[in-house]
């Protein structure tokens, strides 16, 4: 292992951990949620506004950036941090999921993936070595191995073939990665919903040796109970002294349950995508600002939130913006959602430090059950 990403666990409460991950662009207190900046921007947000939510790491994507504007161009312009004016840490997804979900006419073999771009139909090849090279050119603090995101549902045989190929790709990615202080590479556990395969995958990855370990291939239709079953089966097979990352999982209740199970890092498009569709997350559940009940409501969206949307604007105004299709609606509600997610992670870190996480989880569930504030 490179030792490029020092990680220290500073408190524990059951399986949950509070930690500190050191990167070339600053420290990250975990558990942490990473806003998604797929194409070198968190949609509807300026970088300084993302930072104001409390985020200290965001996610970028190899697939999208290799197609436009290209990793080589970003490298010529000083790397992804400078290109997008983001001074803190960046994790880059390797592009495997996007190849499976967006690319056209894709072909998977031992060498990697060949596909046609969803933008212009041009043919591209993405091998494990090329995925790592792209992330190096971008200057990612955390690079991810190229993996095959197994389709769901899949038979045990299909999942095994896919998982074993991903493990061979992971070994090639590790060999291609250039170790340097403050930069690291994470392996990705695959195996669909089959616990034995998940444990086999985790054993393969720990045998190779990575700076952190992700659990991939979830939040694609299997449901929360199955997802937690997979996490429960996988976490004990991962090193206790390395960060654990649950990829693409982002509903508030999913985050809370996964933290209880020992997960340290998360990413998901849900808070930003929801902000663009007038959906807001609050301590009392999800609120649809398009609903007529908010049209005359002078109260803030969430009285306990410190974000600009809650501090300076009424539900009535946010409702108006959403109904009118104004860009400001997406900006304010995205900012609110990211504040909510950051506050949720802070609250869980604090509860772990005090060893009161179970009490926090009970209070969280009760508030969510109560639902939104009644109209005045």
Question: Could you confirm whether 359 is annotated as catalytic?
Answer: no
Q: Which CATH superfamily is domain 9-267 in?
A: Queuine tRNA-ribosyltransferase-like (3.20.20.105)
pLDDT band at 31 (very low <50, low <70, confident <90, very high): very high
Contacts of 134 (CB under 8 A, 6+ apart): 62, 65, 66, 71, 95
| Dist. CA 302–CA 313, nearest whole Å | 11
**Using one digit for the tens of pLDDT, what is the confidence trace for 76-97?**
999 999 999 999 999 999 988 8
Half-sphere CA count of 34, side-chain side, radius 13 A: 26
Global pTM?
0.97
Catalytic residue among 267, 302, 343, 372: 267
% of residues, the chain, pLDDT over 90? 94
Active site residue 267: yes
Say whether pLDDT at 103 is over 90.
Answer: no
User: Residue 68, Cβ neighbours under 10 Å: how many?
Assistant: 12
**Which residues on adjacent β-strands are paired with residue 57?**
89
Annotated catalytic residue within 13, 49, 93, 141: 93
| Helix (H) / strand (E) containing 162 | helix 156-176
Q: Kindly state the percentage of the chain with pLDDT values over 70.
A: 99
Q: What is the mean pLDDT of residues 349-355?
A: 98
How do residues 285-337 score in pLDDT, each as one tens digit?
999 999 999 999 999 999 999 999 999 999 999 999 999 999 999 999 999 99
pLDDT score of 135 more than 50:
yes
Q: How far apart are CA 97 and CA 91, in angstroms?
A: 15
Question: What is the C-alpha separation between 86 and 95, in angstroms, rounded?
Answer: 21
Pairing of β 57-61 and β 279-282: unpaired
23-28: average pLDDT: 98
pLDDT tens figures, 182-236: 999 999 999 999 999 999 999 999 999 999 999 999 999 999 999 999 999 999 9
Contact between 93 and 87 (Cβ < 8 Å): no
Judged against a pLDDT cut of 90, whether residue 238 lies above it is answered with yes
Amino acid 3: pLDDT = 55
- Residue spans per domain, the chain: 9-267, 275-370
Give 105's pLDDT tier (boundaries 50, 70, 90): confident
Mean per-residue pLDDT, 59-76: 97
**With 80 as the cut, is the pLDDT of residue 104 above it?**
no
Distance between start and end Cα atoms, the chain: 59
| Cα–Cα distance for residue pair 35/20, rounded to 1 Å | 18
Mean pLDDT, rounded, of the chain: 96
* Position with higher pLDDT, 375 vs 134: 134
Q: For residue 234, what are the CA distances in angstroms to 60, 185, 196, 242?
A: 25, 19, 9, 14
CB atoms within 10 A of CB 313: 18
């Amino acid at each position: 292992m490179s030792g490029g990403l020092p990680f220290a666990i500073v408190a524990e409460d059951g399986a949950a951990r509070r930690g500190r991950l050191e990167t070339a662009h600053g420290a990250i207190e975990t558990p942490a949620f990473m806003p998604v900046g797929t194409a070198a921007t968190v949609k509807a947000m300026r970088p300084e506004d993302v930072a104001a939510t409390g985020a200290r790491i965001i996610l970028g994507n190899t697939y999208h950036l290799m197609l436009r504007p290209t990793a080589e161009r970003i490298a010529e312009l000083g790397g992804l941090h400078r290109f997008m004016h983001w001074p803190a840490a960046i994790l880059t997804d390797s592009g495997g999921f996007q190849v499976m979900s967006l690319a056209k006419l894709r072909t998977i073999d031992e060498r990697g993936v060949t596909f046609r771009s969803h933008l212009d139909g041009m043919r591209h090849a993405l091998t494990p070595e090329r995925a790592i090279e792209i992330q190096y050119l971008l200057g990612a603090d955390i690079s991810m191995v190229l993996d095959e995101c197994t389709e769901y549902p899949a038979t045990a045989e299909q999942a095994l073939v896919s998982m074993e190929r991903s493990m061979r790709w992971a070994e090639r990615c590790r060999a291609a990665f250039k170790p340097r202080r403050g930069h690291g590479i994470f392996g990705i556990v695959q195996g669909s919903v089959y616990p034995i395969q998940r444990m086999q995958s985790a054993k393969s990855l720990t045998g190779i040796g990575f700076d952190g370990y992700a659990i991939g291939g979830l939040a694609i239709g299997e449901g929360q109970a199955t997802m937690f079953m997979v996490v429960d089966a996988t976490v004990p097979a991962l090193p206790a002294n390395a960060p654990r990352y649950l990829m693409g999982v982002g509903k508030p209740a999913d985050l809370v349950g996964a933290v209880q199970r020992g997960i340290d890092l998360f990413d998901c498009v849900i808070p930003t995508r929801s902000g663009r569709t007038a959906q807001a997350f609050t301590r009392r559940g999800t609120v649809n600002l398009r609903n007529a009940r908010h049209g005359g409501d002078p109260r803030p969206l969430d009285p306990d939130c410190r974000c600009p949307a809650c501090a300076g604007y009424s539900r009535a105004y946010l409702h108006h913006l959403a109904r009118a299709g104004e860009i400001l609606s997406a900006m304010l509600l995205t900012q609110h959602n990211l504040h909510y997610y950051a506050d949720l992670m802070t609250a869980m870190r604090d509860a772990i430090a005090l060893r009161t996480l179970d009490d926090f989880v009970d209070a969280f569930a009760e508030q969510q059950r109560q639902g939104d504030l009644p109209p005045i």
